[in-house]
Structure 1
Amino acid sequence: MSFESEMKAQLEVAFNQIGLTMMSEHRACQLLAFVYVLGGAYEPVVFHTRLHSDLLLAAKRLNIEGGEAPTAASLSVLQAYVQEMEEYGWRTQWLEELLADYDLKASAGQLAGHSPNEFHRHQAATRAAHFNPKIL
C-alpha cells in the first residue's frame, strides 16, 4: 500500500471513530457498481493503488466486510447504480466523473465503445477458449 493510501485509510479510521466518514454513500456505491459490472478485468483498474484503497473504504462504508450485510437503503442505491451501468454502459454521467477522478479512460484498449454486457460475453468466451483452444 502506498504512503498516500495508508494515510487516507488512517484518516478514514479517525473519521469513523467520531461517527463520520470521508466517503459518501453514493460514491461508495458507484465504486462498487463499477467494479461489479466490469468484474475487475479492466487492466488500468487492476493496477490503480488509489482506486484499490478507495474500494476498501467503500466496502467498509457500506458494511460489506467479511460476513456482514449492508443496510437495505445502501443496497438499493448500489443496485440502482449497477442497473444503470448495465443498461447504459459507459455512457452514464456519474461513471464519466468517476473515471475522470481516477484518471482512467473508458475508451482504453479492448473496451472501446463496448457495453459492459459485451465485455462480459467477450470475457466468458476468452476463458472458455483458454480451457478449450478449439473454440477460437
Structure 2
Amino acid sequence: AYVICDEVYKNYLINKSKKFIYSTALPPVNNLWNLFILENMINFQNRIEKFQELVIFSLSTLKKLNLKTKSTSHIISIIIGDNLNTVNLSNNLKELGYLAYAIKEPTVPKDTARLRISLTADMKKEDIETFFKTLKAEMKKIGVI
C-alpha cells in the first residue's frame, strides 16, 4: 500500500511510524510503477472498460451457474465454509492448472473459508466461463454443493 497525502501528513507519518515504514516499505520499483500507472491512467481507458466488462460477465456467469458470491469487484470470493474442503478444492484446481487461493481461518471468520479469485484485464470470457464450470464440477466432487 501507499499513501497519497499533503506534506504535513507525510511528515507526521514519517516521524511517528518509523518502525512500520522501514519494516514494510515497498521496493522503489513498486513505487515507480504505481507512479507510472497514476500518471498514465487516462491512456488505459480501453483496458479499464474491458476489465469492468469482465467483472460483470464473471459475476453473471457465477449467478447462472448458481455459485454464490457476495463479491462485487474483480476480487471474487467463493465461500466454501470448511478449511479442509477449501484447501482440497484449491489443490484440485491447482492440479488442473488454476491458481485459486484458499483463504481460511483465522484470516476469515470460522466456517467461512473461501477461494479468492482475482480477475485481470488480460483474461478472456471463454477462459473465465470454463474456469467457473470447472470450479462447480470440483465443488460437486468434494461435496460442498
Q: Identify the TM-score tier after normalising by the shorter chain.
A: under 0.3
Task: Please identify the structure whose Cα radius of gyration is greater.
Answer: 2
Question: RCO greater where, 1 or 2, for CA within 8 Å and sep 6 or more?
Answer: 1
As a proportion of its length, which structure holds more helix?
1
Higher strand share goes to which structure? Answer: 2
